[in-house]
Structure 1
Amino acid sequence: MKLKDVYRRMVALGIEADPRGKKQVEELLKERQKEKEKAKGDDSEGFQEDTLFNPYSDTAILYGEETREIKRILVGIDIEVGEVLLADRLREKGEAIDLIMAHHPEGKALSALHKVMHMQEDLLHQIGVPINIAEGIMASRIGEVRRGLAPLNHNRAVDAARLLDLPLMCVHTPADNQVQTFLSRVIEERNPKKVDDILKLLKEIPEYKEAAKRGSGPTLFAGKKDGRCGKVIVDMTGGTSGSEEAYARLAQAGVGTIVGMHMGEKHRKEAEKYHINVVIAGHMASDSLGMNLLLDALERQGIQVVACAGMIRYSRNVQ
């Protein structure tokens, strides 16, 4: 596959698994087309053409010609300068690396991470929070994330890849959509009654089972193991952690248990305050699961995958 085809495939799979539904995502892309048509002069020069098919600001080709042929990729949850040097070292040893793929965004995708957080407004609305309130809850949090990202040195890994001529891309929300949809389906099928039932079913999934061996498996952050689940939601996509203000609204909407990747202490205390159970599946394991579901599709196209940097590789193609 060519680099551009890998990129488009990752985006397409992200759209297929988008919890908002394909129709809503397509409406968003139509709005982008209208924005392009309205743009004139300097505004049109800054318009990024790939936003017409890619709704995820945190997913992008960061370096490399789109026509490059890709046969073997190095994949990590976090790709920094060290991992770029690792790819170059493997290349020196004769182990070809045609592309480095990060999960967490770098470069322009990191500086634009806050833009994808607007999808959390739609997800809150799906659960039962009025859309005007969802937008209000998220507004200050999105601004906080945008300001926090502004001073970062976004391009370190990208510059290293450019100097060593190693194509680099990142795939964030498409992978998070995959794990969100996968776990939502599993939980719906199993219909767990107690919180401990969720912990047990997570540990049956290979990525979480391996993470448990490494000391970073699923754990209970709030609530009781023998407590009843109530309405369970999976919260694993939308850029990064949402607003602390959401938990009161989630409780009003009847949410009893949240299954997430990770959670800060302030968010945990808010969930606990409103008697919402919190099961944290694990960050690296959840990201690995999402990436694996994407990588399996590339593997079926003949692409070899080499895992590094926290990536727990498990192929479902051989099962």
Structure 2
Amino acid sequence: MNLPLSILDLAPINKGQSVGDGIAASVALAQKAEAFGYRRVWYAEHHNMSSIASSATSVLIAHVAANTSTIRLGAGGVMLPNHSPLTIAEQFGTLASIHPGRIDLGLGRAPGSDQLTARAMRRDPNSSDRFPDDVLELQGYLGKKSLVPGVSAVPGQGTEVPLYILGSSLFGAQLAAAFGLPFAFASHFAPAALLEALAIYRRDFQPSTQLDEPYAFAAVNVIAADTTQEAQRELLLVKRARVSLLYGRGGRTFTDEEADLVIESDAGRQVEQMVRYSAVGTPSEVRDYLEEFSELTGADELITAHQSSNTASRLRSVELTADAMALATAG
């Protein structure tokens, strides 16, 4: 199967790890992905989450890029309403100047945080409404002509860092189509509108200077292990972690028994829905699922989110998946 695979790395801080440990694990994952033929690794902007180390997305990308050689790296994505377009253009223009031809910039309009955190970031409540205009302003800064007279991004201007629109609803699909940009759907945690969004994107796509025809990504959870039982155990741990993420605000913690009760209750339906698209099992089982998912979505590229409770299992999943899909380019 000749389908490009990439990785969304949530830069997790696993139980018992420090932030430094989590970042080191992200470096190891990118090195593994590079060696085994994945096309790119993306990092998502999240804030005020004790288990995620990718809040300063551009800084993390810079560190990983300095410790890899060829793999594309980028944001999947930067939540643009949290920032001025000029600042993001300067950050990613700097990255592209240091690592030419390797940097992607995926853009989302969600806050990437809760309301309290949004206020702490001085986020304008209406900033999401300006997202389409901000995308165009950012594109101008990274292109040859700024849309803001007298203001240029240095570094940034002329780097033509490729933009990608991320979404978990129909809005992102419509915007990506109108602007002629690649579109990535976050079906690894918000699967409901996946197929409709992709259909709208392809139907309404308008060619642009960046892209001649639609290019769609679909995200899918992956847990590849040496045995089905091991993979299913990891899936249960992932679901328990989602319970804490969804219902553990304010310092609330859940025992394994409490988390399992939540999963089995009506409240657990949201957890089950979030992992609706998940390739879980041995390499052959994961391959079969990814091939079916590819046929279902018609995606041009799959973004795999390797969901494991520890670094060793996550790296093993990356390796087994590459071998199963015949990606490997080096030992």
TM-score, normalization by structure 1: 0.26
Higher relative contact order, structure no. (Cα contacts within 8 Å, ≥ 6 residues apart): 1
Q: Report which of the two has the higher share of helix.
A: 1
TM-score, normalization by structure 2: 0.25
